[in-house]
């Protein structure tokens, strides 16, 4: 027996013709955009060529894109895509397309195509592998329970029904409000049969941690620069500066008083010999007093500076100081009285 062998280009042209005819005859909506139609034709032609070459993955991708561009109206394209799925081992996807085409072709009056697709679906049915979910909780027990099988959400009525699935890894996600989601991965064999997947009752989701209060404790007030020690140091330092000024002034007065005492006392020579030594002694006492006041002021100024430099910042503590200076013929002193609020 001899089989006629057509060139690849001829087979591709024939495939495009088979694609175009049903797409026009079976259209139920507005005509396709010419650009989309042209793209679909190119994809279909390339997909058919790849399918004949045995590159099923690339072929199914091209044919699927072509079907999508025609909004699913090209029944011939869907039949070709179903054949591609069948040859690549995606039997459930092929069975689903054959079944869809059979129904739509019958409705469109394409009896030959409807019979062909129905026969293909019937021949595939015994070869399918199915997955049936065994759900522990009734749908009424958890109204928000949702089951997603292979990326598609199942209606509650389909949970216990054995559903055809393609061979390979299968993702099952079960979720509900207030529950911890369940993720299952099932390896579906290529052989016909049924795999039952237990779906246990979902556990309650862990309680959310209490939200932290938006209010924060008030920060500790920063210490003021003018602490009690620093304020005291300032008062003492200023008092010391006053003492330095008073001591310097007394020194000038003592020098003048000494010169006048020499004249008044009739003093001559060096050291002076005086008729009356008292004015000279008074001038010397005043000079000693100016020295005491001067150095006391220097000391107080130094103490005040030390207090200010070593004082930490703190809340202001009220402080008042009352300096007093006492000068006599044979004495001189500076005192400071400090009081805190």
pTM of the full structure: 0.54
129-199: CATH architecture: Sandwich (2.60)
Confidence class of residue 224 from pLDDT cuts 50, 70 and 90?
A: low
pLDDT in tens, 277-316: 777 778 778 778 878 877 887 887 787 777 767 777 655 4
Is the pLDDT at 14 greater than 50, yes or no?
no
pLDDT digits (tens, 9 = 90+) for 92-128: 999 999 999 999 999 999 999 999 999 999 999 999 9
Concatenate the DSSP letters of all residues of 149-193 into one string. Answer: ETTEEPPGGGTTS-EEE-SEEEEEEEE-TTB--EEEEEEE-SSSE
Averaged pLDDT for residues 157-177: 92
Q: What percent of the chain has pLDDT over 70?
A: 76
Label each residue of the chain as H, E or C.
Answer: CCCCCCCHHHHHHHHHHHHHHHHHHCCCCCCCCHHHHHHHHHHHHHHHHHHHHCCHHHHHHHHHHHHHHCCCCCHHHHHHHHHHHHHHCCHHHHHHHHHHHHHHHHHCCCHHHHHHHHHHHHHHHHHCEEEEEEECCCCCCCCCCEEEECCEECCHHHCCCCEEECCEEEEEEEECCCECCEEEEEEECCCCEEEEEEECCCCECCCCCCCCCCCCCCCCCCCECCCHHHHHHHHHHHHHHHHHHHHHHHHHHHHHHHHHHHHHCCCECCCCECCCCHHHHHHHHHHHHHHHHHHHHHHHHHHHHHHHHHCCCECCCCEEEEEEEEEECCEEEEEEEEEEC
**pLDDT above 80 (res 24):** no
* 12-16, 213-217, 330-334: least confidently modelled range: 12-16
Do 314 and 264 contact (CB within 8 A), yes or no?
Answer: no
Instruction: Kindly state the average pLDDT of the residues 165-180.
Output: 92
- Say which residue, 290 or 151, is predicted with more confidence: 151
Pick the CATH number of 8-125 from 1.25.40, 1.10.10, 1.10.287, 3.40.630: 1.25.40
User: Which SS3 state, helix, strand or coil, does residue 70 take?
Assistant: coil
């Amino acid at each position: 027996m001899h089989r006629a062998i057509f060139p690849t280009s001829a087979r591709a042209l024939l495939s495009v013709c088979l694609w175009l005819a049903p797409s026009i005859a079976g259209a139920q909506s507005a005509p396709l955009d010419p650009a989309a139609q042209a793209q679909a034709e190119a994809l279909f032609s390339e997909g058919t060529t790849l399918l004949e070459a045995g590159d099923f993955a690339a072929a199914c991708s091209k044919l699927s894109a072509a079907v999508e561009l025609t909004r699913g109206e090209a029944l011939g394209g869907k039949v070709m895509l179903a054949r591609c799925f069948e040859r690549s081992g995606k039997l459930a996807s092929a069975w689903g397309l054959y079944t869809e085409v059979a129904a739509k072709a019958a409705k469109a009056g394409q009896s030959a195509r409807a019979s062909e697709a129905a026969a293909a679906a019937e021949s595939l049915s015994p070869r399918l592998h199915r997955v049936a979910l065994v759900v522990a909780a009734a749908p009424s027990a958890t109204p928000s329970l949702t089951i997603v099988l292979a990326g598609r959400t199942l209606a509650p009525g389909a949970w216990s029904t054995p559903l055809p699935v393609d061979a390979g890894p299968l993702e099952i996600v079960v979720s509900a409000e207030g529950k911890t989601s369940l993720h299952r991965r099932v390896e579906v064999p290529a052989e016909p049969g049924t795999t039952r997947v237990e779906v246990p009752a979902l556990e309650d989701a862990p309680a959310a941690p209490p939200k932290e209060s938006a209010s924060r404790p008030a920060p500790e007030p920063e210490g003021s620069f003018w602490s009690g020690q620093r304020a005291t140091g300032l008062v003492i330092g200023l008092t010391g500066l006053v003492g330095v000024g008073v001591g310097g002034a007394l020194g000038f007065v003592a020098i003048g008083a000494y010169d006048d005492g020499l004249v008044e006392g009739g003093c001559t020579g060096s050291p002076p010999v005086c008729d009356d030594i008292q004015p000279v002694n008074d001038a010397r006492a005043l000079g000693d007093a100016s020295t005491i006041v001067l150095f006391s002021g220097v000391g107080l100024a130094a103490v005040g500076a030390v207090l200010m430099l070593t004082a930490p910042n703190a809340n202001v503590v009220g402080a008042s100081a009352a300096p007093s200076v006492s000068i006599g013929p044979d004495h001189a002193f500076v005192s400071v009285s400090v009081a805190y609020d």
